[in-house]
Structure 1
């Protein structure tokens, strides 16, 4: 009987599962189930919905499977707060990464210590996205619920706990909480005591596993719920972007562009990156190194909105954008539709400039795609300014990577070919790689190299779009002083 592993991607929108063979990584089947829709600034989900979606997605992927499931790993949306009581019951719906209601708490943390202090201590500067700000929000707004908290987790920790009964995490997801030092592999309970409350924090936090460690085995009860063999090994899991980097085979010098609900530009290095301005999240990766990244709140949902306003489907929107007149004074969009994380402007709104009576629907479509891409390219240039090499491949992943307009615009703005690879579900694929590594007793890095995906498309630069760069920066920075429009 063939042995297979299951990689799970529990994202904001859905749970996606890939089943791959243990020996070669060949894709056997996939499954998917939706998560409840959220609407920032308040973005919350019941963790039980993630669990039911995981069960449904795994059952969907394994319904015709004759192979034996020997390994599982979970990647999930980062930062969200899952607060549990002493019995392990979830106290309230989880606040997700894109919930911006803790913006005031984040601002207070930055004001108290400064961005450079946070970058040096934990590699990441507080924004409304990260877990520590959500804990303070809970303390300030729901004191009775906060008083009941005895266990704190982020989404992938909680799902791994449901699979195995063990409270564990990995250094990639832990490094996005705001109270973990990846350099020293320690929880910074002193930060929690100083900023949140005087509590005995360490027993509330999960054990941090190494990159190639196992988290345990699927319990018999859970195996029955999932419809898989009992005793399958569960890997440490990780953050969604961190595992996506493994799924696409990101190497030194390569730059990844993730085009999903959020937009992320990221690279992999063997050294920590500490940006005193707070623009870069210097988080850990899942192989023992680091994954410096810049994350925006607004990516494909921006072009979803433009498509809705123009009453066209996504394929038509992409064609409209690519056929638009690229006059230097064309409309430009600062795509902060639901506030922004990079730069940290939780109350910002989108701004469209350059409209005239001659503005066409094609140009409006182009403004949507360019607005998203310009924000991410700004992030890449920030990474480069910190000495991170960008002379390798530019790899696009996520739903937006299917749009020819995104591929062409990013190629034009960077001056490098934009590639897609045979890893349409990068996080699920990366999770499967991690699961296989643990089952086989190898390193995640080694299996990543063995399972490197082939290139599926190459989009070469066709024109120079940097004629609007300074106009974009001027517009995008108008709200930096705190003004909203």
Structure 2
């Protein structure tokens, strides 16, 4: 058996798969996010570890963890986790959707004019490097104590193994990695006042980074098994649904929304706020568009319209969707990345009338997130990338109504496969399998899961939605200066 651990924003998910890749058990433990000031988004790393420990211990009710051969890690990207020389956490981790460091982004790009060539990306507040420059400037005494900088999942690795290590896909999201060389970039590190001695050792996703500490192994009723490098949540999620080769792509509807496409080299369109990162597999990269609020918009609208939960809300919408409505929603509840790179952007409802009701708002939210995803895919097409197949994953993809809506908005066929709701944890477990069996092929360890449904766009519906999308696209430039 193989254990996959996915450190998300709202929860830690852990799964166990067997040698055939079949899911044997899964557990989760919730996490909370703190927003102490406008644009701030933070979490306590101690809570990550407590939740992980709780979830793994709960697995013992369903499977004998003594049979686990290896562990893989996945997690939310970009988070700045700062430790001192004793390995103690110095401050709450600054998360991927934190927008405080826009000015530091401008400073870093001015200081390293070719940073976009080195990293393949536009410097954004969500990335790790500008966060460290913010800490250096606003918390100088704390910055002097920083001995280790870790990404969120790699803090779990440190707690599990005592090793400071990371993988290429997660490291690519820091803006300290030279994308072509797959190595830390000393110039970019120096621009934030750091050296490579403060950074974790780099590995490819399936490589073994250490073994489980004996005390942790005993507490989890496991052996001192190897822990592989793993991958950032999107790269691991792609492996969970068999997205391993150029031409394959996925659309992930999690807290954020991601369009992820595998490439055989470094491609990019930084000006459109597209991301070009390493994949969690050797010698492979990927392009990615990201919107910061996707399924999280559904949680928000369900709460403020007084639905019991998102499932109830979507069920009612599917039964009584408004045939005609003119409400448009900009889904920028946490700012936005692709294509606007605007941490100050906020959510907007436009076109409300006396006839608007809560289902009008819910429909507008689903459409608004879908339109924002279409913006990212359009940016990808404009830089010359086309995919052969797009697979839907993530918690939001569990809604058949939303899956069809996305196909109609994008005017593209979409597939939905089993395991999409646990993609990152499954990908992490698959990387553990690869690490324990290095002679195995990637395709045998990371096959495409069972096809559950295919969604073909409805042309007449697409034309109706296209008209609303034109209004959606025109709205942001009109209100941008008001944010």
C-alpha distance in structure 2 between counterparts of 1:479 and 1:129, whole Å: 22
C-alpha distance in structure 2 between counterparts of 1:469 and 1:455, whole Å: 30
C-alpha distance in structure 2 between counterparts of 1:411 and 1:75, whole Å: 28
1:168-207 equivalences under 5 Å are 168-194=165-191, 196-197=192-193, 199=194, 201-207=195-201
Cα pair distance change 1:228/1:162, threshold 3 Å: same
What is the aligned partner in structure 1 of residue 477 from structure 2? 477
The answer on 1:246 being equivalent to 2:239 is yes
1:270-289 equivalences under 5 Å are 270-288=264-282, 289=284
C-alpha distance in structure 2 between counterparts of 1:417 and 1:43, whole Å: 35
Deviation, structure 1 residue 180:
0.5
1:195-274 equivalences under 5 Å are 196-197=192-193, 199=194, 201-229=195-223, 231-250=224-243, 251-274=245-268
Cα pair distance change 1:409/1:108, threshold 3 Å: farther
Deviation, structure 1 residue 282:
0.3
CA contact (8 A) 1:120 1:274 kept: no
- Stretches of 4+ moved more than 6 A in 1? none
C-alpha distance in structure 1 between counterparts of 2:317 and 2:95, whole Å: 32
C-alpha distance in structure 2 between counterparts of 1:347 and 1:443, whole Å: 47
Deviation, structure 1 residue 295:
1.1
C-alpha distance in structure 2 between counterparts of 1:377 and 1:60, whole Å: 39
CA contact (8 A) 1:180 1:186 kept: yes
The answer on 1:164 being equivalent to 2:179 is no
Cα pair distance change 1:132/1:403, threshold 3 Å: same
CA contact (8 A) 2:273 2:337 kept: no
- TM-score (structure 1 length as normaliser): 0.92
What is the aligned partner in structure 2 of residue 438 from structure 1? 435
Could you list the per-position Cα deviations for residues 271-294 of structure 1 after superposition, in whole angstroms to 9, with x for gaps in the alignment? 111214051110110112112111
The answer on 1:418 being equivalent to 2:417 is no
Of 55, 59, 62 in structure 1, the residue corresponding to residue 60 of structure 2 is: 62
C-alpha distance in structure 2 between counterparts of 1:448 and 1:142, whole Å: 45
CA contact (8 A) 2:246 2:262 kept: yes
Cα pair distance change 1:222/1:393, threshold 3 Å: same
Deviation, structure 1 residue 266:
0.9
What is the aligned partner in structure 2 of residue 360 from structure 1? 357
1:319-334 equivalences under 5 Å are 319-322=315-318, 323-327=320-324, 330-334=326-330
C-alpha distance in structure 2 between counterparts of 1:262 and 1:444, whole Å: 31
C-alpha distance in structure 1 between counterparts of 2:29 and 2:133, whole Å: 32
What is the aligned partner in structure 1 of residue 100 from structure 2? 101
Deviation, structure 1 residue 8:
0.6
Residue segments in structure 1 that go unaligned for 5+ positions in a row: none
What is the aligned partner in structure 1 of residue 467 from structure 2? 467
CA contact (8 A) 2:206 2:432 kept: no
Cα pair distance change 1:167/1:7, threshold 3 Å: same
The answer on 1:456 being equivalent to 2:455 is no
Residue segments in structure 2 that go unaligned for 5+ positions in a row: none
What is the aligned partner in structure 1 of residue 295 from structure 2? 300
- TM-score (structure 2 length as normaliser): 0.92
CA contact (8 A) 1:260 1:400 kept: yes
Deviation, structure 1 residue 113:
5.3
Q: How many residues align?
A: 470
Deviation, structure 1 residue 438:
0.7
The answer on 1:290 being equivalent to 2:285 is yes
Could you list the per-position Cα deviations for residues 258-314 of structure 1 after superposition, in whole angstroms to 9, with x for gaps in the alignment? 111111111111111121405111011011211211111111121222222222232
- The root-mean-square deviation of aligned C-alpha atoms, in Å, is 1.9
